[in-house]
């Protein structure tokens, strides 16, 4: 059984994670151009996933300390791998989108004399 302080930290981190992921979704739906959508989606989703991942890591460490068992060690390892994959994927996708829209922005700029 975990302590009340650990449970409160986990719940707060989960609420923050869900909140930022909702901000990311709303930003994708509302913003008109690709650059602002990309900025909102990458930043807010990284904060949301990191917060939820930290909640899982805290839970796993607390459960490993109190009851032991390989399942909590496996949970921690899987969560760390998931965070690395999501962060790397977000970075790669944002770079690809940025490279695709850069030529479009350069074409749309009007040169003033």
Structural domains of the chain, count: 1
**For 1-19, what is each residue's pLDDT tens digit?**
568 999 999 999 999 999 9
Q: Which domain holds residue 70?
A: 4-100
User: Considering the entire predicted model, what is its pTM?
Assistant: 0.75
Taking alpha carbons only, the member of 76, 27, 62 closest to residue 48 is 27
Average pLDDT value for residue range 71-81: 91
Question: What is the C-alpha separation between 4 and 10, in angstroms, rounded?
Answer: 10
Q: Over the stretch 23-45, which tens digit does the pLDDT of each residue have?
A: 988 888 888 877 777 778 788 88
Residue 108 lies in a domain: no
In a domain? residue 107: no
67: which DSSP letter?
T
The CA-CA-CA angle for residues 73, 75, 78, to 5°, reads 110
Whether residue 105 is contained in a domain is answered as: no
Exposed (0-12), middle (13-18) or buried (19+): which is 90, by Cβ within 10 Å? middle
Residue 55 and residue 10 in contact, taking contact as beta carbons nearer than 8 Å: yes
Residues 62 and 24 sit within 8 Å (Cβ to Cβ): no
More confident residue, 98 or 30: 30
**23 domain-assigned:** yes
- Whether residue 32 lies inside any domain: the answer is yes
pLDDT confidence bin for 99, thresholds 50/70/90: confident
Name the band, by pLDDT with cuts 50, 70 and 90, for residue 112.
low
Residue carrying the six token digits 């940025």: 98
Write down the number of H helices and E strands in the chain: 3, 0
What is the per-residue pLDDT across 48-68, written as a single tens digit (0 to 9) for each?
Answer: 988 999 999 999 999 888 888
């Amino acid at each position: 059984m975990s302590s009340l302080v650990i449970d409160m930290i986990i719940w707060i981190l989960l609420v923050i994670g869900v909140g930022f992921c909702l901000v990311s979704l709303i930003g994708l739906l509302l913003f008109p151009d690709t650059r602002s959508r990309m900025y909102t989606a990458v930043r807010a989703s990284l904060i949301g996933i990191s917060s939820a991942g930290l909640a899982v890591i805290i839970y796993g460490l607390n459960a490993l300390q109190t009851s032991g068992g390989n399942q909590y060690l496996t949970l921690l390892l899987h969560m760390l791998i998931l965070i690395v994959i999501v962060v790397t994927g977000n970075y790669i996708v944002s770079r690809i989108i940025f490279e695709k829209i850069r030529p479009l922005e350069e074409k749309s700029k009007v040169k003033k004399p």
